[in-house]
Amino acid sequence: MTIKNQVHSKFKVFIPEAGITDKEVMRRLESMVEGWARASKAAVKSVGIEYIDQKKQVVLSLGYRDDEPGYPVKLTSYQLGKLQLRPEEIERAMENAAGDVENVICHEFFVDGDGEFVMVLLSHG
């Protein structure tokens, strides 16, 4: 694959409803993303995720292409815990979590409302 195959300019945004637990948010996002990718037949290339403190909500975006064949994807989240802002500690936690997932396309992480690092992996499913 060349880098050109990774380049994309289309985006899909998912926002679960407010007032549910962080774990339920991630379960719903996993279902929403995987269902959309399957139905749209898009070639998903990237993931972005952010916890919006003011709203107490998570916003997830996918970058994709619609000019090449789509493929199934899987969204997997891992609670990494309350980590210090030490690069080596964060890297180690992320690598340990990623070791359980095959065919990772990309990753993202955010800090939830409880101050826990959450890693999100997008993989070929």
pLDDT tens profile 8-65: 999 999 999 988 988 899 999 999 999 999 999 999 999 999 999 898 899 999 999 9
CB 72 within 8 A of CB 38: yes
For residue 110 the two structure tokens come to: 């955010």
For residue 85, the enclosing domain spans 3-124
Residue 80 has pLDDT above 70, yes or no: yes
Element (H, E) at 5: none
Cα gap 6→1, rounded to integer Å: 8
Task: Provide the number of structural domains found in the chain.
Answer: 1
Residue 31 has phi, psi (to 5 degrees) of -65, -45
Residue 2 has pLDDT above 70, yes or no: no
Give the model's pLDDT for residue 16: 95
Give the model's pLDDT for residue 66: 94
Question: Which pTM does this prediction carry?
Answer: 0.89
